[in-house]
Structure 1
Amino acid sequence: MKQGLGTQLRHLIELLDGAVQQSYVDAGLDYRPRYTPVMRALAQQQSATIGELAELAGITQPAATQTVALMKKEGLLLVAADGADGRQRMVRLSPQGAALLPQLQACWKATKRAADSLDADLPFPLSDCLAQAITVLEQRPFGERIRAATKKVRPTP
């Protein structure tokens, strides 16, 4: 039986994230792969709001909020009120987070080389396929596609 798209994607993520997580362990780092988009964004830009981080990292604002909270708890980030009314929260790397960057960047380079190797072993690069799928889903979301498919299978009265 062929697995559904969601099951396949979850399994792919498990295979990729598990290996990346193990590479951090092998490097002696206590670090989660989910932190990488935020760390990369803050490595390029000294500080950012949660909304800016979400945009820079290519993740949703709720995901950015959750990730920042976890990273702050682990001492990787500093979060402080900013702006006249204090509602904006500015996020930046803590000294501990900044000190971790050189080791992380070495891991990221190895992960990039491994991803390039995976792309080369496939009949079409997975990274290109994923980028195309994201673009198409941004133009016509999957929820809209489900609703359209639901209308096609409902019996007519």
Structure 2
Amino acid sequence: MNFFDTVGKLAIGSRLRLLSEKITEDAAQIFKLYNIDMQPKWFPVFYVLSTEGASTVTAIAREIGHSHPSVSKIVTEMAKKGYVKEKNDKADGRRNMVSLSPKGKEIVEKIQDQYKDVNNAVEDLSANTRNDLWKAIGEWEFLLEQKSLLRRVQEQKKERESARVQIVDYKPAYREAFRALNEEWISTWFKMEEADHKALDDPRGYILNKGGHILVALYEGEPVGVCALIKMKDPAYDFELAKMAVSPRAQGRNIGWLLGNAVIEKARSLGARKLYLESNTVLKPAINLYYKLGFQKVTGRATPYERCNIQMELSI
């Protein structure tokens, strides 16, 4: 059984590491073949110094994409071998400049034949493949720089788990969840206020019977998120988006986004033109969600909540 054929792309890290180890092992033998006493890991630093002259550890690290500690360690190892030397920068005494020593410069001349032979060997290898590995690596590096593999996996996880979320209309069986989910976040950040008790103690009388609606997000059948549309008397707004809460145990599954969109669609289906909400800027994830949903900051309306320090609206 070929492990990589069986596991496939799940083992991309292991396969790339194995390929890297094979090439690094050959590189060590290639240096010996040309009687050059150098470790493969030194080569990027050596090449930069041989082509660009004296430089700082910071500049070298930036050039080759390594960390400062990694380059510093390599420079120390090369200095012990007598290949590089360090001295204070004349223009800035706080900086150490690294350059090749006379012994290191001798290798520059000696290594030229190795460069030619290695380059030709790699060209020959590429000529016998259907895919250009060098170009592919460049493409992967570019794409991963835009969005890491971790971020891509996180997005796939969120998308998969989001598919298990169901948005349903409120019914009496969800009354306790509506209260508990809201009490949880309010008590974590603030204190329960009179307007909270009115809505949570009697959601039917305070919200539903007055033309409002409540939606519930179910994850695998369990209520993990809620949000209300409260009918407003203010002629500038049709509904207030309120009492949105998502269980901390269910966060990371896109539930807030799905619930917010569902509530907006519900308002649109009811002929609403403009929605209003109140929040607090300490709730950064919530504020970011509201902006993402299209809400914009407004000011000037009276609020029954002490905790409110931001008001937002959405034109549908």
Which residue matches 1:43? 50
Which residue matches 1:140? 147
**Is 2:121 the counterpart of 1:114?**
yes
Is contact 1:37-1:57 (8 Å) kept? yes
Normalized per residue, which structure has more strand? 2
Give the alignment partner of residue 68 of structure 1, picking from 67, 72, 75. Answer: 75
Where has structure 1 moved over 4 Å in runs of 4 or more? 152-157
Which residue matches 2:276? none
Alpha-carbon distance in structure 2 between the residues aligned to 1:72 and 1:139: 37
The one-letter code sitting in structure 1 at the alignment partner of 2:36 is L
Alpha-carbon distance in structure 2 between the residues aligned to 1:50 and 1:146: 34
Alpha-carbon distance in structure 1 between the residues aligned to 2:56 and 2:82: 18
Which residue matches 2:100? 93
| TM-score, scaled to structure 2 | 0.45
How far is the alpha carbon of 1:99 from its aligned partner? Answer: 0.9
1:56-112 CA distance string (max 9 Å, x none): 334343332222222122211111222566332210001111111122222122111
Alpha-carbon distance in structure 1 between the residues aligned to 2:145 and 2:88: 32
> Which structure's relative contact order is higher, taking Cα pairs within 8 Å and 6+ residues apart?
1
Larger CA Rg, structure 1 vs 2: 2
Normalized per residue, which structure has more helix? 1
Partner-residue secondary structure (3-state), 1:91? strand
Give the alignment partner of residue 20 of structure 2, picking from 13, 18, 30. Answer: 13
Is contact 1:37-1:58 (8 Å) kept? no
RMSD value over aligned CA atoms?
2.2
**For residues 145 and 70 of structure 1, do their structure 2 counterparts lie closer, same or farther at Cα, with a shift above 3 Å needed?**
farther
- Residue identity over aligned pairs, in percent, reads 26
Structure 1 portions without partners, runs of 5+: none
Task: Count residues in correspondence.
Answer: 157
Give the alignment partner of residue 2 of structure 1, picking from 7, 15, 39. Answer: 7
Which residue matches 1:104? 111
